Structure 1
Amino acid sequence: MSLDTATPIRLSELAGIIYQVIDEVFKQQSFWVVADIANHSFKPASSHHYFDLVEKDQGSAALISRIPTRSWADGSSRIAAFEQATGQKFGNDLRVLVQVSIFYHAVYGLQLTLTDIDTGFTLGALEQQKQATLLRLVKDNTEHIRLNNGVYSTSNQQLRLPAVIQNIAVISSSTSAGLEDFLHTLNNNAFNYRFRTDTYNSVVQGELNAQVVVDQLIAIYNAQNDYDAVVLIRGGGAQTDLLLFEQYSIGRAIARFPIPVITGIGHQKNETVADLMAHTAVKTPTKAAEMIVAHNRAFSDELLSFEKNMIIRSQQILARQNRLLSQVSQQFLTGAGHYLSAQKQDLSALSSVLARRPGQMLYEKQKDLQSMVGRMGYASQYFLKTEQGHINNYAALIRLMSPENVMKKGFALIRQNGKIISDPASVSPGNQIDIILAGEEIEVIVNNKKAYDGRDFNL
């Protein structure tokens, strides 16, 4: 095409020439392009996507290229299929392999039209990045992170959770729905447990914000508030929304942290690097709260079982001592009877002698007998007093371990149909149960009952 560049033309004419050149060169052609998504918007009514395909320098993150892109018709259906297959929302910061065609518009300029998207590329790239991060964590932190038979073991996982978790540091976004769910579940537990929670606000999305989370872990450590556990939560999202928790710095900080870390970041599929490094990983913020309540409940059940065993054991000891005392008393009375009978016989024999001896001998024998009877009385009183002391000690122990004293310490008994129960299998939704506290009895109707798996109450 020959153009007279010296003769002025209208802008629309120039736009037409550009369109003609691009159309002749790229007509019926398409290209597979690797790029990141930026400035994405979606129009549900028309199912149209509008976004930029961008490329950044890997070292400085400076923008190298940017081309506006759109997706209509077949392209939008391919995006929908991508989201369904991967569980990822098509949006900003997502690296993709897409098929595009080139188009020029006189008003909107050069544009690309997305016609297809490769689902395997995105998932494969994320998994490769995750495995590289895990390999680096193991290699660079041999004292704190180990890999044995495909299972990661960290210093944080070796910490022991306290028997009762009460003081909790929470890392979360201040506006996160997950934080609300966690606090609601924790503070409205069925057992009336009370917790102290301190929230350390942090950005929990975007891989470039990893240092913000690490800084909050440092703040928790420096606070020296004797926290029982740290809970890292997020309200959920697609795998690409959770890239923050795949970062090396967060994984390293969690693995080395001296307080047990519990993660509940809202994922339903694969575990993140943060999950693999943490002491305990659950799926959601709600599950994190339920796990803590269940942990405390397990200790409470163990304590109640110990109390029950102590009462039974004390009753057994008391019954055995009572039987022993009864046996000893009977033996004593029998022995005393035999002794007195023998003495009576001796006295009778003596009487016959005294009939022939002076009155002085009779007087002396009577004194001996009185002294002997006195010693026998003192011995019997001392024995009975000693045994009564043993009985009083066992009675005091029983009173100490009585349900009334235990309930004054904050525990409760649960009664159903007039019987104290400890087996949750005997309670079903709709049942009426009585909760017996110190000085008060509460009648309740069971609304719900949840199963507990035993796990989901320590840089």
Structure 2
Amino acid sequence: MTKALSLYQLNTLVADVISNTMAHAYWVEAELSEARESNGHCYMELIEKEEGGNVPIARASAKCWRNVWSMIKPYFMRITGQTIHAGMKVMLQVHAQFHPQYGFSWIVDDINPEFTMGDMMRKRQEIIRQLKAEGVFDLQHELRLPMFTQRIAVISSETAAGYGDFCNQLMNNEYGLFFHVKLFPAVMQGEQVEQSIISALDAINQQVEDYDCVVIIRGGGATADLSGFDTLLLAENVANFPLPVITGIGHERDESVLDMVSFQRVKTPTAAAAFLIDSLAATLSRVESAQTAIIDGVKRKIERENMRLQHLSSHIPVLFSVVRTKQEGRLERMIQQLISGIKENINRSNHHLELLSQRMELLDPTLLLKRGYSITLHNGKAIKSQEELKKGDIIVTRLANGEVESVIK
């Protein structure tokens, strides 16, 4: 009777064969279907898809041990500006390992970031080509920022330091200009970036008349993993948005596709705030310059008329002094009427600006709450009719000093 090997003995034989016949390291190109870190190690699932399709024709597991990964990871992030993630194309240097207890796996010795950069660039160029073919690549650049841009819709992480810096700089500007800022929270890092920002844009679009522009900012976190801003769907949504979109997502290495299709790209959230402040300050300067020009023009006209009168008076005989006196009185009345009209126009303009400012303040829902009113929300949206609710729905009643949660019976 033939004596059977134990499983451990068989696996040991396989391990010896692989160790002896595949002792070298190999460079391999693959796509990551999964990548995760645990206890300092990196575990990857590799796939290869058939050309022109999405069906995997090869799969394998790979591991990068902590002592190697601690050196590879920071270099890869510095070159590519990203962490490894599912869907990324990579070139790995691996060697084969078969462990009698844990089976076969490829052990990663190195990663070539230049290969990944090339693949990222190819994908980016393809997205840009498609956007241009659709005729939407330059749509944002055709928009104009309103002169009185004060109502700002912000898409950012609620806890991001960059959002706080943005608000502080806007509210404490040196000109004393007023801005109304509304946050539409979104995930700004990882695989959920695309859908989260698109959802925020959809929410803004439902009340688009309430805002002058949109600001997408990201700051205070890691500078890596910006792949979510290089997607076709997100770029299409931003390019087609009816309001100017300003991006300040906090990276300097390269423009993302989102930056390229936006109305204005700046480097950081604080730079986005500075851009808005400068824009409104320029409007203020134009108003003040126009006011000064009107006053100076009136003064020059008065001086010219006085000089003309003085010249004429020296040639008018004494017999016509009465006529001169009448004409001077008439001219003086005209001048006073002209000055009065100009002052009235200036006052009306100033009053209009004050009304606009008051209107912006009155639109703040917190004022209504402080007066004793409340706002009932379901899934974050204000309830306008009882037909919008059904039994079991959870509603939140927002008061001036807190919120009350209720269940529809």
Query: TM-score surpassing 0.5?
Result: yes
Residue correspondence of structure 1 range 425-440 to structure 2 within 5 A? none
Partner of 1:20: 16
1:385 is aligned, of 314, 323, 329, to 329
1:52 is aligned, of 44, 53, 59, to 44
Q: 1:298 to 1:42 in 2, by over 3 A?
A: farther
Could you tell me how far 1:392 is from its partner in structure 2? Answer: 1.8
Residue correspondence of structure 1 range 29-428 to structure 2 within 5 A? 29-36=25-32, 38-41=35-38, 43=40, 49-55=41-47, 65=59, 67-71=61-65, 73=67, 76-89=70-83, 94-105=88-99, 108-139=102-133, 141-142=134-135, 144-145=136-137, 154-207=138-191, 209-235=193-219, 241-332=225-316, 334-336=317-319, 382-396=326-340
Q: What CA RMSD, in Å, does the superposition of the two structures yield over aligned residues? A: 3.6
Partner of 1:446: none
Larger radius of gyration: 1
Could you tell me how far 1:248 is from its partner in structure 2? Answer: 1.1
Check whether the contact 1:174–1:201 (CA below 8 A) recurs between aligned residues.
Answer: yes
Could you tell me how far 1:117 is from its partner in structure 2? Answer: 1.4
Identity of aligned pairs, percent?
28
Partner of 2:3: 4
What is the CA–CA distance in structure 2 between the aligned matches of 1:121 and 1:89, rounded to whole Å?
14
What is the CA–CA distance in structure 1 between the aligned matches of 2:220 and 2:91, rounded to whole Å?
25
Check whether the contact 1:88–1:238 (CA below 8 A) recurs between aligned residues.
Answer: no
Q: 1:63 to 1:226 in 2, by over 3 A?
A: farther
- Report the 3-state secondary structure (helix = DSSP H, G, I; strand = E; otherwise coil) of the residue aligned with 2:194: helix
Using the size of structure 1 for normalisation, the TM-score is: 0.65
Partner of 1:369: none
What is the CA–CA distance in structure 1 between the aligned matches of 2:161 and 2:130, rounded to whole Å?
33
The CA deviation string for residues 52-78 of structure 1, in whole angstroms up to 9 with x for no partner, is 233387977999745250235566534
Q: Which runs of 5+ in 1 are unaligned?
A: 44-48, 146-153, 340-375, 411-459
Could you tell me how far 1:295 is from its partner in structure 2? Answer: 0.8
Partner of 1:355: none
Q: 1:229 to 1:105 in 2, by over 3 A?
A: same
- Report the 3-state secondary structure (helix = DSSP H, G, I; strand = E; otherwise coil) of the residue aligned with 1:318: helix
What is the CA–CA distance in structure 2 between the aligned matches of 1:113 and 1:385, rounded to whole Å?
101
Q: Which amino acid aligns with 1:39?
A: R
Q: 1:113 to 1:16 in 2, by over 3 A?
A: same
The CA deviation string for residues 370-427 of structure 1, in whole angstroms up to 9 with x for no partner, is xxxxxx96x5664343122023235436766999x979967xxxxxxxxxxxxxxxxx
Partner of 1:414: none
Could you tell me how far 1:226 is from its partner in structure 2? Answer: 3.4
Partner of 2:393: none
Q: 1:215 to 1:127 in 2, by over 3 A?
A: same
Could you tell me how far 1:288 is from its partner in structure 2? Answer: 1.0
- Report the 3-state secondary structure (helix = DSSP H, G, I; strand = E; otherwise coil) of the residue aligned with 1:52: strand
Q: 1:85 to 1:242 in 2, by over 3 A?
A: closer
Q: 1:382 to 1:29 in 2, by over 3 A?
A: closer
Check whether the contact 2:37–2:43 (CA below 8 A) recurs between aligned residues.
Answer: yes
Q: 1:384 to 1:309 in 2, by over 3 A?
A: closer
Check whether the contact 1:101–1:112 (CA below 8 A) recurs between aligned residues.
Answer: yes
Using the size of structure 2 for normalisation, the TM-score is: 0.72
What is the CA–CA distance in structure 1 between the aligned matches of 2:79 and 2:170, rounded to whole Å?
35
Q: How many residues align?
A: 349
